[in-house]
Structure 1
Amino acid sequence: MGMILRKVKTLSDNEKDTTRIVGQVKWFDPVKGFGFVVSESGGPDILLHANVLRNFGQSSVADSARIEIDIQETSRGVQAIEVHRIDAPESASAAVLADFAGLDEEEIRNAPLEPARIKWFDKGKGFGFANIFGRDEDIFVHIEVLRRSGLSDLQPGEALALRVIDGKRGCMATEVMAWENASTKDE
């Protein structure tokens, strides 16, 4: 008796149904490597894995940040599969960092985003330092700048785009964004 073999096509993760939603980060722990998002339209908590966030160019996200993601239903629940946008929490964007008081807001907004790498960052101390590629000076990075940028923590060696000004503490980051946003002098 002969066997009949039939090829069964399985859907790859990219071929499964996805839905784009807007929600709010409930919490995210970069040490554990995951957190959860709550959709604006309700429903179950959505798992946000660190790898999905890294594909967006970030290693963390601030609690209460507004986030736009593609989600997918899996056997283990609803999970984020791609991040499209992250907006800082509203309370963080209203906060004014004392270090920027009295500085020209137009100058801060128009400073170029430059490619940088984090030297170290201590969330407990509330600050750390970075270096812009090709320069030796340290760039001061305050935790409030992270929160206003929609982030909660930074890892040594992490590549980012920093908006940098000459401030009260020397060279200071005023905004932190994904690496892809950095300008290059060759453009």
Structure 2
Amino acid sequence: MMDKAGGIRGQSVCPGKYARVERERRFLLAEPPTPATVTDTRVITDRYLAGTRLRLRRADFPDGSCERKLTQKVPISRPGGVQGLITNTYLSSAEYDLLASLPAVVLSKTRFSVPPLGVDVFDGPLQGLVLAEAEFTTDEEAQSFVPPPECVAEVTNDVRFTGGRLVETPRQDLLGCLAEYGLRPE
């Protein structure tokens, strides 16, 4: 909940010049998108820095370019598309390398842009998980969004499908979570 000062009650971070409200809805898909529907692709490695709310991200694009950023996410416990506050800082290669030396848990995925969705196909112990998200600028946009038919189930309010939780999810637990939604990846 926002307080009178525009901050999130109980948190020390306020939206404004640096932090912005993050609005997104998340959906499970039974399979990756078909290549004909994909407009962009990148391989993402997320390092969740131990003991913090910080994520170090490296996104590698097919043309050889790379984007590196440090993100702080301050979640709020409110159902719906508002996930909390997010702050991003873009990094040089040297800055990224220095921060990457800190203790972290890591997950990797390939993100496919399939407008209006970003579709993540996970690697490693999360293989078989296909998670789509749509981002919005207003609460009204988030509430009125009608997901495409390939979305099997909405998991926006299921914290088990947030990056910070997924990175620590053992494979057997993931398979159990997916089975609850009628999905059984190989």
The TM-score normalised by the length of structure 2 is 0.27
After TM superposition, the score normalised by the length of structure 1 is 0.27
Task: Name the larger-Rg structure.
Answer: 1
